[in-house]
Amino acid sequence: MFRPIIQRPLLVQPARQLTYITKFDTKKFVQSLQTKGNFSKEQAESAVNIVNKAINDGIYSITKNLVTKEKLSSTAYQQKVDFAKLKGELQTMDRSEFNNLKKELEQLRTDLTNLKNRIREEVTKNLAGVKLDLNLEKGRIREESSIHELKIEDTYTRIDEEISNIHMQIKSVKTQVMQWLIGVSTGLCAVSLAFARFFG
């Protein structure tokens, strides 16, 4: 005999129900198979049963995956809640990332300022050291110049003393020569007088 069409309740809105697919005259379908398809009564009934089962299985498979409007609304609401929560978490993360980035930027500025100050201090310290070295070098050069000047003056003094000694020696030699010449002249005069008296 014919298997009745199973009318399973669908969990969707009436506009989306698929039960109208199974609404056909099975008896007329059997007669059509017998007259047009040359089916016997048993063959026609078997074919209708197979088609009926396939249709019912298909409807059941489709309706099994459908949900009610309430469930769909609940799921949509839950998704909205989850999305809002996710959005809030993302905003919080963005705000946290921004604050962290701002802190890192401030720390970087502070580090740069400290580095500039350290470099300025090092440059000032090095310049002071260079100036001190230059002043010490200038003092050393002045001291060496003074020593050289003293040595030069001492040399000039010695030269002057030597020249004075030479002048004194020359004068002494001149005096001795004059004395010798006077002695010689006196001797010659005495000899001349004696010679004149002897032969005069």
Nearest of 28, 27, 6 to residue 18 by alpha carbon: 6
Question: What is d(CA 9, CA 56) in angstroms, rounded to the nearest whole number?
Answer: 12
**Predicted local distance difference test score (pLDDT) of residue 67:** 64
What are the domain boundaries of the chain? 1-66
| Assessment of whether the complete model's pTM goes beyond 0.85 | no
Rounded Cα–Cα distance for residues 60 and 11 (Å): 11
- pLDDT tens for 46-100 read 888 888 888 887 777 777 766 677 777 888 888 888 888 888 777 777 777 778 8
Tell whether the model's pLDDT for residue 17 goes beyond 50. Answer: no
Q: Write the DSSP symbol of residue 66.
A: -
CA-CA distance, 192 to 180, in Å (whole number)?
A: 18
